[in-house]
Structure formats: C-alpha cells, structure tokens
Structure 1
Amino acid sequence: LEQDSVNIPFLKLRVRSAYIAGDYQNVRIPGERLIRLQETSLSALTQVVVAYFNLKLYTDCIRVCQYLIAQGYAVENIFYFEAKALARIKQFDKSNELLKTCINLSISKEAEMYYYNLGINYEALRQYKKAIAQYDTANYLFKNPIMNFNSGRIYEINLKNMQQAQKYYTKYLALAKPVEADEKKAYQYLKERWGKKKPVAPKK
C-alpha cells in the first residue's frame, strides 16, 4: 500500500483485515479510497458500512449505504444498516420506510401460500381464531383482499359474529378485483348482502 495507495485488491484486503480485527478506525481510510476509486465491492463496502455504524459515525454510514444503493446494490442488509443509522439520528420516518423495504425483500411471495395453507389447516382443526391470524398476516404482508374474505367467512359461518364478519367483508369489497367466475359470483353476493348494511349488533 505504501508503494501503490490505489491498488484495489490491497485496499480491499486492508479493509477486511482491519474489520476482522475489530479495528474499525483503520477501516475508514482504505474504505474511502475504494469509494473514490468508484469500487463497488459489496463485501468490502458492507464492512465499511458496519465499521462506520460501530464507530457511531451515522451520517457516514448512511452515505456509504446510499453510494452502494446508487451503484445497484439495493440489498436487504444495506437498507437495514441505513435504517438503523437513520434511527440513531432520530429520522424515524425515513428509517421506518427502509425497514418496510427490508421486510418486502426478506419475505418471498411463496410465504403467502404458506400462511394461507396454515389458515386452511387451522380451520380444519376448528381453531378459528388461529386461522384468522394466519389470514390477517398474509393480508398484512401481501395485501391480497381474498384473505379478508376468508376471515369474514369464518366470523359469519363459524363464529357467528356478524359485526366482525361485516368488518372483514367491507375491507374485501373495497379492495377486491375479482377475475374468476366463482369469485365474481361471491363478490356480487357479498356486495348485495353486506355492501350497504349498517353495522350489525352482535348476537347475544
């Protein structure tokens, strides 16, 4: 490094060795040189991000995160450290937005079907509140209105709680865009029965 201070492989090695040793101060100079050289090594620069965070240099941590994102590295770990650094400087709204991005990146679309099938299984076991909890989770994560329909159906048919049933059906009717013939038929039925009704008092 004394002979060639812009030798990228050596700079990356210097970052890694200092990082592994927990010598975060000595991650800074080679890390900043990599950025000036427009190096985009995700591994080395992630170590720079973590070093800045551990040194409580939160604005520098955010800057390096944003550099990586601008270079096309929109990955969960980078968003997470930027969110943590933003929270430390009390920019909580921005931090929350990035944490929501992390959630979307970390949960695969297949998870919706897992929650849906958990709900079906709990229904079969007559554990209706647990079934509704699975449908609620699937709806929260993936915004699929059919999950509100499923919860409303349980409240109406199994739990005989018409007030809760209407709450879920109203959410379903507000968001659903049925395509299949069976769902269109169910949607029309619900719209006629529940669409304009006032809240129903729960049965005693």
Structure 2
Amino acid sequence: MKNLLLIILFVFLNNFIFAQTPVALDKEKLFDLYQTQHYDEAAKYLKSIYGEETTDFKTLSQIGYCYLMSGNNVEAEKFYLKAYAQQAQNLPVLFSLAGINSKRGNIEKSKLYYGEIVKIDSNNFSVYKQLANLYSSDIDSMKLVYLLKANSINPTEGDVAYDLADVYTTLQKREKAYKVLNIAIDADTGNIILQKAILPVANFLKKYKEVILSGEKILKVDQDPLVIKDVAKAHYYTKNYAKAANLFKLLEAMGLQNEATLYYTSLCYRAMKNFPLAKDYTKKTINEAISPNTADYYALLGLLYEETGKLPQANVAYKKGLEFNSTPTIYYRLAVLYDTKYKQVKQAKNYYALYLKSKPNPETDKDEIKYVKSRMEQLKMAD
C-alpha cells in the first residue's frame, strides 16, 4: 500500500510539474520532501520556484496543501483563498478552507464553505458529516438534520451512526438509536465501539439477553467499566443476582463505583436475603450520594445566616453540617456563636473543646487555635 501511494504521488508530481511553465524545479528534491513529510520545506521550495505571487491554480493549491499538512493554517488559508478566488467551486479547496476555519474556531466561516459544497454536491456524505461535527450540542436541531442526511447516504458508516444514536438517546428516542446502531453493526461486526454503544440502549429497551451475550464477549477482551455496569444491570433484571453483585463489586474493586452501582449491589443482596451485606451497601450508597463537601456548605450557610443576624437559622445550619462531617470549622463557629451571641458559657466551652479535639490544622488554623485556648482559659477563670 505504501509503495502504491508513493507511485500515485510521483505521478501527481509529474503531472503537476509539467503542467507549469518550464522552470528549474528539482523533481527528486520535491519528491523526497513529500516522502519524508517535510511539508513546510516543500511549500517554501515551491514558492522559491514559482514565486509568492503566482496565479496558477494548481500551484496555489499545492502550496496551500503543503502548509496545511505542516500545520501552518495561516499560510495554508492564504494560498487556498487565492485558489478559491480563481475556482470558487473547487471541492478540495472548499473542504480545505472549511477545515482550516474549523480548526481555528471560525465555525461560522466553516459552515459557509461547507454550505457551498452542499450547493455543488447535495449528496456528499463527508460534508454532512463535517457539518454535524460543528454543532457541539446534541439537542441542536441542525446537528440532527445533518446526521440524518449523512446517515441516509451511508447508513453503515460507524462514526455517523454512533453520533446519530447518541443524539437520539439524548432526545429519548432509543428505539431509533437502537435501529441506527444495529444497521452499522451488521455492516461491521467487529466494531467494538458500536457494540459498546448499543448496550445501554438495549438495556433500556429490556433486551437483557442480548446485552449479556454481547457484553460478555466484549469483557473477554476488554474490561471496560461501562460494559461491566451494563452487563451487571442486565443480569440483575434477569434475576441472576449473584452474577450481578459480583460484577458490581468488580467495579468497586476498580475504584469505579458510584451511587447507582452501589444501590444495585444492595438490591442484589436484598434479593438474595443477605441482609447484612444489603445494609452495608445501602449505607455505602448513602455515603456515595452525599458530597464530601456538604458539611462545608452548611458551614458557609450558617455563617451567612449569622452575618445577617439570623442566629437560630445559623445554629440549625451549623448543626446540620455536623450530621455530615464533624469539621473543626463548624465546631469553631458554634463555639463562637454560643459564646458571643447566646452568652451560653457551658455550651461554648463544650464546642471549644470539641474544636481542639477535632485536630484543626496547626498552620492554617493557628490564629483560631490560639484564640480558642486563650478564650478557654478566660472562661475557666470566670467560673
């Protein structure tokens, strides 16, 4: 294949070279630059031969291509625009300009160039595929329009089928997503990406046996966590609770558990009458569902209430935070609240003591620690 490409490139270069006005062009040098992928040098060499201001369409296109391949999009666009000015309906030039603008974030310009291609060739699969990629949101109606058009032209192309199914899933149209993926999979039975993509869709459509059959084949060669989760859910819904629990626990062993997987694990143990483990996993589910920062959020809420004079609400917020995590910050805020606002010395002393026991950071909290120790001495002397 490599030799064939080199032969094609050699023929192209000969046609390109002899189509120009005879000049002192070193064909072997240019061919070597292409072969070694020194495209920037090739562009500069062509400019040195034909000049910066050449108006020959083939020369402009070739220099633009060299700069494009070298990653110099600015120079590539400059030469492609000159070529475009001469042949505005040339598809390779339009594709190149659209691609350059897409890479540089000029999405609207890219859409315009692709739009020109559609006017010339309304059944060009590639242009609809590229247009769809310019829309980042799956709920954008135009993305769906372009994916549908591309898929209608070539329903077996995997990338478009995957993206279209993803949009359908987002729009809660899973029957359509399933159909699109199945057509592409039938055409490419070895496409693991498509096989993985169809599993959650099939699970939703209650095609559990299909998920288990296909998913377990994938797991023999690829322990993908998402596949493990899909297969585990399928086993759960077919009442193979032991198998499901083992797969969910495999995710836990990998450190990839989440609220949902832990919840299903607890349900599996409940179904198997293993109530101790069911309780353990229900507790794990609750802990997973709660943010580790919840206590900090309540501490902030309490402080905001306190700063606006709403002391009862502040007290409630601080104590609610303690239900999630006994942080030094909350103990400190409660101690100060009872000490300075409520004037309840006994409660204040208790929270000051709890603050010191909660091991505040000796560096970042040194001022608070110093204050608490000093204040506790003062309160002790006042007794």
User: Is the TM value for this pair above 0.5?
Assistant: yes
Alignment match, 1:53: 236
Map of 2:354 onto structure 1: 171
Please tell me whether the aligned partners of residues 148 and 169 of structure 1 are also in contact (alpha carbons under 8 angstroms). yes
**Corresponding residue to 1:154 among 334, 337, 357:** 337
Q: Percent identity?
A: 21
Q: Which residue of 2 aligns with 1:182?
A: 367
How far did residue 157 of structure 1 move? 2.5
Q: Is the 8 A contact 2:265 2:278 kept in 1?
A: no
Aligned CA distance change for structure 1 residues 147 and 14 (closer, same or farther; 3 Å): closer
**Matches for 1:80-95 after TM superposition, within 5 Å:** 80-88=263-271, 89-90=274-275, 91-95=277-281
Q: Please point out which of 189, 192, 202 is paired with 2:377.
A: 192
Larger Rg: 2
CA distance in structure 2 between the partners assigned to 1:56 and 1:190 by the alignment: 62
Which digits, 9 at most, give the CA deviation of each residue in 1:7-53, with x for residues without a partner?
74565366345313113243223233333x14233333322222233
The question of 1:99 aligning with 2:285 is answered yes
Looking at structure 2, the residues matched to 192 and 25 of structure 1 have their Cα atoms a distance apart, in angstroms, of 71
Gaps of 5+ in 1: none
Q: 1:137 to 1:58 in 2, by over 3 A?
A: farther
Number of positions where the alignment pairs a residue of Structure 1 with one of Structure 2: 191
1:34 maps to 2:218: yes
Summarize deviations over 1:100-149 as a string: whole Å, max 9, x none. Answer: 5514xx6264x555433211211123222321233234444344212112
The question of 1:125 aligning with 2:308 is answered yes
> Residue 18 of structure 1 is aligned with which of 202, 205, 222?
202
Alpha-carbon contact 2:349-2:376 (below 8 Å) kept: no
Structure 1 residues 24 and 38: CA distance shift in structure 2, 3 A: same
Change (3 A) 1:115 1:34: same
- Provide the C-alpha distance between the structure 2 equivalents of 1:118 and 1:26, rounded to a whole number of angstroms: 49
What does the per-residue CA deviation read over 1:55-101, in whole Å, with 9 as the maximum and x for residues that have no partner? 34332222111223444534444334324434543124521452255
For the aligned residue pairs, the C-alpha RMSD in angstroms reads 3.5
Partner of 2:350: helix, strand, or coil? Answer: helix
Amino acid at match of 2:215: G
Q: Distance in 1 between matches of 2:278 and 2:352?
A: 34
What is the letter of the counterpart of residue 63 of structure 1?
A: N
Matched, 1:62 2:248: no
Conserved? CA contact 1:15–1:31, under 8 Å: yes
Task: Describe the shift of the 1:130–1:47 C-alpha distance in structure 2 as closer, same or farther (beyond 3 A).
Answer: same
| TM-score in terms of structure 2 length | 0.41
CA distance in 1: counterparts of 2:345 and 2:258, whole angstroms: 44
Q: Does 1:44 align with 2:44?
A: no
Q: Distance in 2 between matches of 1:39 and 1:190?
A: 61
Shift, 1:150, TM fit: 0.8
Note if contact 1:86-1:94 (Cα within 8 Å) is conserved in structure 2: no
Contact 1:152–1:165 (8 Å) recurs in 2: yes
Higher RCO, Cα 8 Å, sep 6+? 1
Structure 1 length-normalised TM: 0.70
CA pair 118-85 structure 1, distance change in 2 beyond 3 A: same
- What is the Cα deviation at residue 183 of structure 1? 1.5
Distance 1:126 1:186 in 2: 23
For residues 92 and 168 of structure 1, the distance between their equivalents in structure 2, rounded to whole angstroms, comes to 36
